[in-house]
Amino acid sequence: MVTILDRINSDAEKRVRHPEKAHRPDQEVLRKPDWIRVKAPTSKGYAETRSIVKEHKLVTVCEEAGCPNIGECWDKKHATFMIMGEICTRACAFCNVATGKPNALDMAEPESVAKAVKEMGLSHVVITSVDRDDLEDGGAEHFEKVIWAIRAASPSTTIEILTPDFLKKPGALERVVAAKPDVFNHNMETVPGNYLTVRPGARYFHSVRLLQRVKELDPTMFTKSGIMVGLGEERNEVLQLMDDLRVADVDFLTIGQYLQPTKKHHAVMSFVTPDEFKSYETVAYTKGFLMVASSPLTRSSHHAGDDFARLRAAREKKMLIAAE
């Protein structure tokens, strides 16, 4: 797992991964409870996936974010590709992706991603990105090109995108939706009361409105959003967030435990129990979500392919019931 310092080449040089966090006081990294621990990845499938990713010089959020599910997902040759580089222009307190001035876009990246998708034989792929506030369109055109390249190389693959908020980027969202991904995911990350400390570069109601706008542009497109718990939120705040997402007609909600990447990141305020996650899932279904994934190790892209099949089936069932 990457840390506050990352090796940047074969020499002993290092760069600060999170320069904006270096001055912060250390936060104790709490010992994880038994229900969160995972085994180190050692399988043949994991090694094969890693080899394909490296061969095509791709970036995955699985590695950059230090995802605890990387061993399980890569063993099954599932990976979430992170486009537009590995350096983000935002500095969220929870995130382990590097912050700084990004490099120029790699114009060959859409084809490289598409080739990897085809080589891995993916039936469903998730494409995410860093925030690129430095680009006029926030990276919308690049998302579009990646979607088109995958469609050309692997027509049967369903495509899920996990996007930034395109804050102050007029027309960007419309361009991405017009490229017709199968699932549009944009994570709320946390409750509104935490935004100033946890997600200071974003705006809660802008993100809600973005998800709502997707449905206005294409009512048939599946929408999805996720949050982390354990950041000091109250239960009633989580329930209100659910209501806000339902007003935006979001189909799929994911809820997972926040895990602190380093001592310079936001502290874990609590470890939410599996029973509490189950309770959130039950309530979310009563509020009308088509799909809910809620567990300590739930992440936006975890089991994304299987979940997409279930999501599609849930919509079909709902339509049949409505037609009776």
83-95 pLDDT, tens digit per residue, is 999 999 999 999 9
Residue 3 has pLDDT above 90, yes or no: no
The token duo for 102 is: 């990004």
Q: If pLDDT is split at 50, 70 and 90, which confidence band does 191 have?
A: very high
Domain that holds residue 148: 40-323
CATH number of the CATH domain containing 133:
3.20.20.70
Residue 30 falls inside a structural domain: no
Residue 15 falls inside a structural domain: no
pLDDT of residue 12: 35
Residue 9 falls inside a structural domain: no
- Segment 49-70 shows an average pLDDT of 71
Instruction: Name the pTM for this structure.
Output: 0.88
Residue 18 falls inside a structural domain: no
pLDDT of residue 304: 87
Q: If pLDDT is split at 50, 70 and 90, which confidence band does 4 have?
A: very low
- Segment 163-173 shows an average pLDDT of 97
Amino acid letter at 1?
A: M
CA-based nearest residue to 84, from 109, 61, 57: 109
Residue 263 falls inside a structural domain: yes
- Segment 158-183 shows an average pLDDT of 98
Q: What is the CA 236 to chain-centroid distance, rounded? A: 24
Q: What percent of the chain has pLDDT over 90?
A: 70
What is the dihedral sign for C-alpha 61, 67, 73, 75?
Answer: positive
Lowest mean pLDDT among 34-48, 58-72, 177-191: 58-72
- Segment 123-146 shows an average pLDDT of 97
What is the dihedral sign for C-alpha 283, 285, 289, 293?
Answer: positive
Q: Give the number of domains in the chain.
A: 1
pLDDT of residue 148: 99
Residue 264 falls inside a structural domain: yes
- Segment 235-241 shows an average pLDDT of 99
Residue 21 falls inside a structural domain: no
Q: What is the CA 191 to chain-centroid distance, rounded? A: 16
Residue 33 falls inside a structural domain: no
